[in-house]
Amino acid sequence: MEDIAITERRRLAASVARILATHNGQETVLLDLSGMTSWTDFFVVTTATSSTHLRGLLRNVLDETKPLGLDPFRKPQLSDDDEWCLVDFGWIVVHIMSEGARAFYELERLWFQAERLDIPAPASGE
């Protein structure tokens, strides 16, 4: 039974990652942390190209995850100079980062043992 639950969670986490990639999140990845931590199962990491893009990605992920039954524990409040936005859905944690913040914090290197799935942007016309 637990395998079915994690399979469904993985499918939903991949859907969240695709939402970000569809809205031009750069180098979007899904990191499977299940079995590695007790506090979350998946990280979704993407890069925003500007503060406006970061706010847009946040808006899109909040709007498009609601129909999937996902609600964050709290809605992030961003200032104009924020370079990292964390959206905590519990078993999915979304990181929307500026290029500089992503290079500095290197989440993928920190969690190098996690299974990594690169999520490409959809081809035009999809």
In a domain, residue 126? The reply is no
In a domain, residue 101? The reply is yes
| d(C-alpha 124, C-alpha 126), whole Å | 6
Cα angle 36, 13, 23; round to 5: 130
Q: Could you list the residue range(s) of the whole structural domain that residue 107 is in?
A: 2-119
Sequence-ordered list of residues with C-beta below 8 angstroms from that of 84, at least 6 positions apart, any chain: 95, 96, 97, 98, 101, 105
Confidence category of residue 4, pLDDT binned at 50, 70, 90: low
Give which of 10, 83, 91 is closest to 47, Cα–Cα. Answer: 83
28-77 pLDDT tens trace = 999 999 989 999 999 999 999 999 999 999 999 999 999 999 999 999 99
Tokens (6 digits) for 5: 């639950």
Domain count, the chain: 1
In a domain, residue 12? The reply is yes
77-87 pLDDT tens trace = 998 889 999 99
Given a cut of 80, whether residue 112 has pLDDT beyond it is yes
- Identify the DSSP state of 37: B
The pLDDT, as a whole number, for residue 126 is: 54
In a domain, residue 125? The reply is no
pTM for the model:
0.92
CATH number at residue 30: 3.30.460.10
**117 burial via Cβ count (<10 Å: 0-12, 13-18, 19+):** middle
In a domain, residue 124? The reply is no
Side-chain-side CA neighbours of residue 61 (13 Å) = 35
In a domain, residue 23? The reply is yes
In a domain, residue 18? The reply is yes
